[in-house]
Chains A and B, each alone.
Chain A
Amino acid sequence: MSSDALKAATQFVALNEKSEPYLVGSRCEACDQLFPGLRQHCAGCYSRDCMKQIDLGTHGSLYSYTVVHRSYKGVSVPFVSAVVDMDGGGSIKGTMLNVPPDPDELTFGMPLSVVFRCASCINPEAEGYVSHFFTPALDA
């Protein structure tokens, strides 16, 4: 992936000043609640215009998951859909890479790393778009 061609595939990814992707979130400055993606107001404490853009980090743990065997037309199956609690707070959903799509290979709470890949690895039409994925922790 040449960095100057990168675009964010979803609202969960942003590019920093070096055009490197990161998992973008929002922190409520009134109640400290973290959210994936950018937002303006807080759904938790109802404060307005209180959100600060943050990096949700690169490490988390597996909260819940499913192994998807039937999906929308054209989407390759099976794959692991994961709900991940980030180590620095906040939760986000993602597809897991580098793990067999088998419940026996997955453990609640297992440490995960965030990796960024071209979305074309999932969707051939998404060349040039970068998306986030999870893998078993790279430095565990």
Chain B
Amino acid sequence: MSDRVYVIGADMIRFGRFEDETPPSLAAKASLLALDDCNVGIQDIQAVYSGNCGETMVGQRMLQIIGQTGVPVANVTNACATGATAFREAWMAIRAGVCDLALAVGSEKMAKGVLVRKNRAGDAVPREGLVGSETMPAVFAEMGMEHARRFGTTLEQFAMVSVKNHFHSTMNPKAMYQKETPLEEVLGSEMIAYPNTKLMCSVNVDGSAAAVLCSEKKMKSLGLSKRAVLVKASALASDPFTPRNTVMPDLNAVTQLAANAAYESGGIGPDDIDLVELHDCFATAEICHYENLQLCAAGEGANLLQSGATTLGGKIPVNVSGGLLSKGHPLGATGIANVCEVVMQLRGEAGARQVENARVGMTHVVGLGSACAVHILERI
């Protein structure tokens, strides 16, 4: 077994709409980029973990494009935590000593517009509109309104999340949208589900991202210690029981559970984190997750944002990539794309959006249903 597992290669395509691509072809593009990032060939990879929400056997079908090596492939799905779950599977395989070098890849082809949920068993009539709303913007709006109820958070404060993340995106050539949006523009865009306006919703796009992980021994034998990044902690949680969980997915509790586990297993605390890429699928979520990830005390999330602490140059920059709000959110790819950002930052290769002296970074995703994955990465 290998106690220390490293990311040696990580890259993503710029997300967008690719009519002629398939999930396997998208996955192939990101995988080749990540392999090239560490000068490793597909023939060197001993296991593949592929994340995708919409299709089956994407990992194998990707290898049919870039090289059928016969290695074990597992396809994972975990809603918006899918990519991070594939990454964690690769981490576990290496940590367990089953292999030394593994590829984690996430991909997705998305439909446009609001995600539609399948009709549930037990209901004669579809629930949407009849029993409130189950669209993603509505679910995350209700999460934000719960925060507003507890702490008085305002529409303007939630909108400031989009102002910040869209500002960051202007420094990320791989963000789908690279455009600043002043507060008035965010507030003035189409209301989707109060308080989330259109510019406070991540966009459903196609995309892929990949990471190559390896053991300490392998990392040294490949001579990659200069650019390797240590996986300091990996945590995955399912939603623990809370009283309203069956009617209102409790994404706070599941994030708190995963964050606590990551801090504990990494032997570090929130003060040690230099940057965070968290799951800003909707602007309302980001303020809640500041608190869930212990970047500030409960109720202090909006103040933390308004103080500038989470803006590039602040005490704990959050989503300097532009976040899901700017990059787009191809479900299966998202969790690995945020690993790509943190790896780039810890290597000091992030250009204009580089967080100064970044040593330790955190990634966070939640999947509705619910799952939360938190990873802590460290420069060595």
Contact = CB atoms under 8 A, between A and B. Distances in A.
Contact of B145 (A35, A66, A119, A122): A66
Interface string A70-112: 1110011101111101000001111100000001000010000
Contacts of B114: 70-72
Interface stretch (B161-169, B187-195, B262-270, B320-328): B187-195
B196 to A, nearest CB: 8
Of the listed residues A33, A76, A131, the one surrounded by the most CB atoms of chain B closer than 10 A to its CB is A131
A71 B193 CA distance: 9
B135 A71 contact: yes
Contacts of B127: 10
Contacts of A44: 241, 243
B125 A83 contact: no
B131 interface: yes
A36 B149 contact: no
A8 interface: yes
A75 B248 CA distance: 21
What bracket does the count of chain A residues touching chain B fall in? 35 or more
A120 to B, nearest CB: 9
B204 to A, nearest CB: 13
A22 B290 CA distance: 40
Given A36-B247, A82-B132, A94-B131, A66 B138 contact: yes
Contacts of A131: 125, 130-131
A30 interface: no
Given A68-B133, A69-B192, A119-B130, A9 B124 contact: yes
Contacts, number: 140
A124 B207 CA distance: 38
A94 B133 CA distance: 8
A36 B244 CA distance: 10
**Main SS at interface, chain B:** loop
Nearest to A78: B191
Contacts of A119: 125, 130
B149 A63 contact: yes
B126 interface: yes
A20 B241 CA distance: 32
Interface string B15-39: 0000000000000000000000000
B26 to A, nearest CB: 27
B132 A83 contact: yes
Given A37-B122, A67-B193, A83-B142, A108 B130 contact: no
Given A63-B149, A64-B146, A75 B241 contact: no
B165 to A, nearest CB: 21
A3 interface: no
A57 to B, nearest CB: 15
Contacts of B116: 72
25 contacts: A9-B130, A10-B125, A10-B130, A35-B246, A64-B149, A65-B145, A66-B137, A66-B195, A68-B129, A68-B193, A71-B133, A72-B114, A72-B116, A72-B129, A75-B128, A77-B129, A81-B133, A83-B244, A91-B246, A92-B247, A93-B131, A108-B148, A123-B126, A129-B124, A132-B131
Given A11-B122, A43-B241, A69-B194, 4 more contacts: A68-B137, A70-B193, A91-B247, A103-B195
Interface of A: 7-12, 33, 35-37, 43-44, 63-72, 75-77, 79-83, 85, 91-95, 103, 108, 119, 122-123, 125-126, 129, 131-132
The 9 A-B residue pairs whose C-beta atoms are closest, nearest first, are A81-B132, A66-B141, A11-B122, A75-B129, A81-B133, A67-B194, A9-B125, A93-B132, A108-B149
